[in-house]
Amino acid sequence: MARSSDTKAQAGFALALPDNPLNGLANEHMHLREVCGHLDALADSDKAQPVLALSARAYIRGVLPNHARDEEEDLFPLLRRRAPDDKDLHCTLDRLSQDHRDIAAARPRVITILERLITDNAAPDAPEAVRLKCFADLERRHLLVENAVILPLARAYLNGRDLKRLRKRMQARRGVDDI
């Protein structure tokens, strides 16, 4: 079910989607790093911080699934097609796909924890704090590789038609078109 905070997060992305969709993915990476910082701040404090919990929940629930699909269903296959002999790249993409599965598996529990922190206006207990930190660590390691390796290679390998297709697919996923 669509929720207003998630819709706002998606609309914010849609309005900001640049002509080059790789810049859109890079912008989302920047926001995801901020979300990781919010998860750390929640985990490290014994005080309730509902604004941070709300912001993290909106992004993890509303933006992250589409972001992973942009990469799994479009960016990674395009890269594999444009660089069929780059074995290192294919290996890296395999590892990143495993990260996506691990992140997707951990995501519902993280959302449930954030829901509780919001509803109870509470700080996380020790097991919840560990879960939040593990999720932030996994996401940060993943972003590091995508920013350092995947996006630069995508800028080198993908042609104008690839980028146009990727942008269209990202817009379709978010239910928007050019204004």
Using the minimum distance from each CB to Fe ion, give the nearer residue, 49 or 76.
76
146 binds Fe ion (CB under 5 A): yes
* Positive/negative CA dihedral, 91, 92, 93, 98: positive
In the complex, minimum distance from the CB of residue 5 to Fe ion, in angstroms, rounded to a whole number? 21
Q: Tell me the two tokens of residue 137.
A: 């660590």
Using the minimum distance from each CB to Fe ion, give the nearer residue, 67 or 131.
67
In the complex, minimum distance from the CB of residue 149 to Fe ion, in angstroms, rounded to a whole number? 11
The piece of 40-48, 51-59, 71-79, 130-138 that touches Fe ion (CB under 5 A) is 71-79
Residue with tokens 């817009």: 171
Amino acid letter, 50? P
The piece of 3-11, 34-42, 49-57, 139-147 that touches Fe ion (CB under 5 A) is 139-147
Distance CA 126, CA 146 (A): 30
Q: Do residues 136 and 40 make contact, with C-beta atoms less than 8 angstroms apart?
A: yes
139 binds Fe ion (CB under 5 A): no
In the complex, minimum distance from the CB of residue 143 to Fe ion, in angstroms, rounded to a whole number? 6
The piece of 46-54, 74-82, 105-113, 143-151 that touches Fe ion (CB under 5 A) is 143-151
Query: Per-residue x/- marks for Fe ion, 14-53, CB under 5 A?
Result: ----------------------------------------
In the complex, minimum distance from the CB of residue 49 to Fe ion, in angstroms, rounded to a whole number? 26
In the complex, minimum distance from the CB of residue 100 to Fe ion, in angstroms, rounded to a whole number? 6
CA proximity to 167, closest of 16, 24, 12, 27? 24
71 binds Fe ion (CB under 5 A): yes
The piece of 33-41, 50-58, 69-77, 105-113 that touches Fe ion (CB under 5 A) is 69-77
Q: Residues in the site for Fe ion, rule: CB under 5 A?
A: 71, 146
